[in-house]
Amino acid sequence: MLKLLVALAFLGLNAYVYYAFASEQVFPARESFAAFPLELGDWRCKERDEMEPEILSVLGATDYLSCTYQAADPMSWVNVYVGYHETQVRQEGGGGGETSIHPPAHCLPGSGWDIIAQEKVVLDLPGMPQRPAEVNRLVIARGEVRQLVYYWYQERGRVTADDWKKIIFQSWDRAREQRTDGALVRFTAPIYRKAEEQADDALLDIASRVLPLLPAHVPE
């Protein structure tokens, strides 16, 4: 009963915010990810990943970066995905598809990956709008394949790990600034022979190169 009351209260608050404060939305200026560099120090991405229109429609991203950066060692690679959503509110009048960010912890099992370890860790990397910041760290598996995933929501100058906090901040910023834009930031690296530490090192190295470049593409 308590959960139902909390849910109803949240829906009521969200409706109040929408109708009382945020009849219009602000879309801040930004650069397209088409300009994002394919070389970051010793890391190089041969070509950007292009999503099928059907997949992009499901994701609801306005613009995205999806690129697998590889170091000199061919076994060392990190996939970088940043999906930017200029709005996370369905537009009135129809014609708009999904616009909200999909949590990877919900989507990965649907893609055939099992989450075998999940925790929150604190990162303090250059370029993060909040330092330090709590983010999600997952170890996922599909058969014998293991991968390490770090992800968080980077929205309007915040780094958020929790889905419920993201929703609260979104409602607050919609009322205060008429903005609901934001991005999912995700890094994925392979784990070979259970060597998680090596995967962590590779992932954090390229993250420290990507994050200082993000403000031009993900407005704060």
Predicted confidence at residue 39, as pLDDT, reads 96
CA distance 101 to 203: 22
Contact 81, 65 (CB under 8 A): yes
Query: What mean pLDDT is reported for the chain?
Result: 85
- Each residue's pLDDT tens digit, 132-181: 999 999 999 999 999 999 999 998 889 988 888 888 887 888 888 788 88
> Residue 5 pLDDT more than 80?
no
Phi-psi region of 18 (alpha: psi -120 to 50; beta: other; left: phi over 0): alpha
Q: What is the 3-state secondary structure (H, E, C) of 25-48?
A: CCCCCCCCHHHCCCEECCEEECCC
The amino acid at residue 197 is E
Predicted confidence at residue 147, as pLDDT, reads 96
- Each residue's pLDDT tens digit, 71-112: 988 788 999 999 998 888 765 544 455 677 888 888 888 888
Q: Tell me the average pLDDT across 107-125.
A: 92
Predicted confidence at residue 45, as pLDDT, reads 96
Domain boundaries, given as residue ranges, for the chain: 2-216
> Residue 26 pLDDT more than 60?
yes
